[in-house]
Amino acid sequence: MKKVFGVIGLGRFGFNVAKTLAEGGAEVIACDIDEEKVKQISELVHQAFILDATDEKALKESGIANADTVIVSIGENIEASILVVVQLMELGIKEIIAKAVNPLHGRILERLGVSRVIHPERDMAIRLAHSLLVGGFIEEIPIAENYSIFEMKPPQRLHNKTLKELDLRRKYDVTVLAIKRGDKFIVNPSAEEVIVQDDILVVLGRREKIGVL
């Protein structure tokens, strides 16, 4: 059974969330007060509605109460964002993810009890800074406090050495989960696997340890 997502607010962030979820095979209900934005997303998602999400009746009629998860991505209108979150809670939505436009907004959303608060600009800035600090950084997926899964190009000093020789787990508390080598994907590589220049490493570790590899 497909998971159902609601996306309220179709600015750049909300539009791309809705589009990507739909492309991934999810059923998406997208809502915005702006008719043009709804037209742009309507052919990409299961359902799209022009509505004022602060109107409880309109929200109910959209069917968004049936969503497993609702993402609230309302622009600069903090009051509207908070009101929509409260109404979604009253509708019984179990998982609400809300975009915050500033730290105060984020703290209010957290106190309301949303499942997750997103700070797009802050998070993007942090990821950019980390990419500059970690040599060869490609992508980061945070999984726990201070721990992430990284995709990275191996620094030159790792080239042409086996994982056993490098002993990254003991020295840096870094685990190599997989190696991308061209079209080949080596999962849970053996200790005798040799790292070569064009490899992409998928590693698990602390950000500060990855940075000194």
With a CB cutoff of 8 Å and minimum separation 6, the contacts of 201 are: 150, 151, 152, 153, 154, 176, 178, 179, 180, 195
Helix axes 35-42, 12-23, angle to 10 degrees: 20
Give the burial class of 85: count Cβ atoms within 10 A of its Cβ; 0-12 exposed, 13-18 middle, 19 or more buried.
buried
CATH topology of domain 126-210: Alpha-Beta Plaits (3.30.70)
Query: How confident is the model at residue 64, as a pLDDT?
Result: 92
CATH 3.30.870.10 fits 4-118, yes or no: no
Strand, coil or helix: 137: strand
For the chain, the structural domain boundaries read 4-118, 126-210
Res 136: pLDDT:
62
List all residues 6 or more positions away from 25 whose beta carbon is below 8 Å from its beta carbon: 2
Task: Tell me the mean pLDDT in the region 17-40.
Answer: 94
Token pair listed for 111: 């106190």
Mean pLDDT of 15-42: 94
**Res 212 pLDDT > 80:** no
- The residues, any chain, with a CB within 8 Å of residue 8's CB and separated by 6 or more, are 14, 31, 32, 53, 64, 70, 71, 72, 73, 74, 84
DSSP assigned state of 75: -
Task: List, for residues 138-195, the tens digit of each pLDDT value.
Answer: 677 777 667 788 888 898 999 999 999 999 999 999 999 999 998 899 999 999 999 9
pLDDT tens digits, 108-152: 999 999 999 998 877 777 666 666 655 566 677 777 667 788 888
Q: What is the mean pLDDT of residues 36-49?
A: 95
